[in-house]
Amino acid sequence: MTPFSSLATALRHHARDIYHLEAAAELIIAGPWLHQTDFTRDFLTTSSSLNDGRRTASIDWPAAIASLDNGELPCSGGERRMLRLTASLANGIPVDLREALTGIDNRNTQLLIHAVLHTSGRPHPARHDHF
């Protein structure tokens, strides 16, 4: 298993059955963040599940957004917007929707639509797997 797929699996395991965390995990997995060592090293924590011993991963959202605000996470404008939206979904970190939604591309718009539907308990009808 590659480091990326291992982290993706661990994030999914941590988020399992909690809709907003599942949606946020899929948004992070779809983006560049799990491929960036500075992000995974500084903001992602792995551990073993108390229930079944499987590897889980969680993200320190307040620290990640603070680093983003301080210019310490190199990224494009779209990546910045998506990270803010994902942090808001996962951890309730406030986000200016007008600022965050302006300028995101079609792919990210579709990912967000799927995330909102999943968070509300209504999986996208065209998707039956991870969105």
Instruction: Calculate helix-pair angle for 19-30, 77-91, nearest 10 degrees.
Output: 160
User: CA-to-CA distance for 114 and 62, rounded, in angstroms?
Assistant: 24
Mean pLDDT value of segment 41-57: 88
Out of 15-19, 37-41, 47-51, 100-104, least confident range: 47-51
pLDDT tens-place string over residues 58-105: 999 999 999 999 999 999 999 999 999 999 999 999 999 999 999 899
Crossing angle for the helix pair 77-91 and 106-119, to the nearest 10 degrees: 0
pTM (two decimals): 0.89
Amino acid at residue number 33: W
**DSSP annotation string for 36-93:** -HHHHHHHEEEEE-TTT--EEEEE-HHHHHHHHHTT-S---HHHHHHHHHHHHHHH--
The predicted pLDDT at position 98 comes to 95
Mean pLDDT (whole number) for 13-20: 95
Inform me whether the pLDDT recorded for 126 exceeds 70.
no
- Tokens, residue 86: 């994902």
Average pLDDT for residues 95-118, to the nearest whole number?
95
CB 68 within 8 A of CB 80: yes
Question: Residue type at 10?
Answer: A
Mean pLDDT score of the chain: 91
Dist CA 128 CA 131 (whole Å): 8
Share of the chain above pLDDT 70, in %: 92
Answer with the residue of higher pLDDT: 48 or 63: 63
